[in-house]
Chains A and B, each alone.
Chain A
Amino acid sequence: DAGVIQSPRHEVTEMGQEVTLRCKPISGHNSLFWYRQTMMRGLELLIYFNNNVPIDDSGMPEDRFSAKMPNASFSTLKIQPSEPRDSAVYFCASSRSGGDTGELFFGEGSRLTVL
């Protein structure tokens, strides 16, 4: 089975530009999570969805960040406008049942560099 698929793997952009990161969860998984990884703060949960509905977005840094899940097989994380401090690796993960079993399946990440 295919794992969690993220795109792009790498993105370099200039400050002020819009960035869209994409994620396809594992088929049959009904929970999807967006994490951000930086050296300073480690792995932070930004937002998660159950059955395509956002449950908790308290980790989203500010209004420049937004996430959508229009259907069970696709989610986007958008940053507009981007800033250098947004540079990080963004991971998408999915799980079968709200993540309460603890087994999350991660994608390979999207490495974002904002100049």
Chain B
Amino acid sequence: GNSVTQMEGPVTLSEEAFLTINCTYTATGYPSLFWYVQYPGEGLQLLLKATKADDKGSNKGFEATYRKETTSFHLEKGSVQVSDSAVYFCARNSGNTPLVFGKGTRLSVIA
């Protein structure tokens, strides 16, 4: 089936630290992969996406590379800020099916 597994949080980092949030997906078909972010009290919003193998999505200093060989789409940022504190969701879809989300990873960045 279609599923997404991401690392459990919470993740707590100091400002300017390096961030990695792991995400793996089941390899049914050729999915597109996404990272969504949910800031406190808000709905989810698209952060970045990649639609085929070896594509790299990037936005706001975040990056993720679609790795078909490891069925992964890990989210990275070189230097996090307090304003990056949020819940991050990995997601996939395939064809016309709606998005399937991971359970989310809460990130807290402390000054």
A residues touching B (Cβ–Cβ < 8 Å)? 4, 33, 41-43, 45, 48, 56, 91, 93, 98-109
Contact = CB atoms under 8 A, between A and B. Distances in A.
Given A42-B102, A106-B45, A109-B43, 13 more contacts: A4-B43, A33-B98, A41-B103, A43-B89, A98-B96, A99-B96, A100-B96, A102-B34, A102-B49, A102-B91, A103-B46, A106-B44, A108-B43
Interface in B69-107: 89, 91, 93, 95-104
Contact of A102 (B43, B93, B103, B104): B93
A102 B41 contact: no
Contacts of A104: 44, 46, 99
A65 B103 CA distance: 23
A93 B45 CA distance: 10
B32 interface: yes
B43 A100 contact: no
Contacts of B101: 42-43
B89 A99 contact: no
Contacts of B95: 100
Contacts, number: 53
Contacts of B89: 43
Contact of B43 (A45, A93, A101, A103): A93
A11 B54 CA distance: 45
B8 to A, nearest CB: 11
Interface in B19-40: 32, 34
Give the one of B41, B46, B95, B98 with max A CB within 10 A: B98
A48 B93 CA distance: 14
Nearest to B93: A102
B43 A91 contact: yes
A99 B98 contact: yes
Contacts of A106: 43-45
A41 B46 CA distance: 21
A108 B41 contact: yes
A48 B98 CA distance: 8
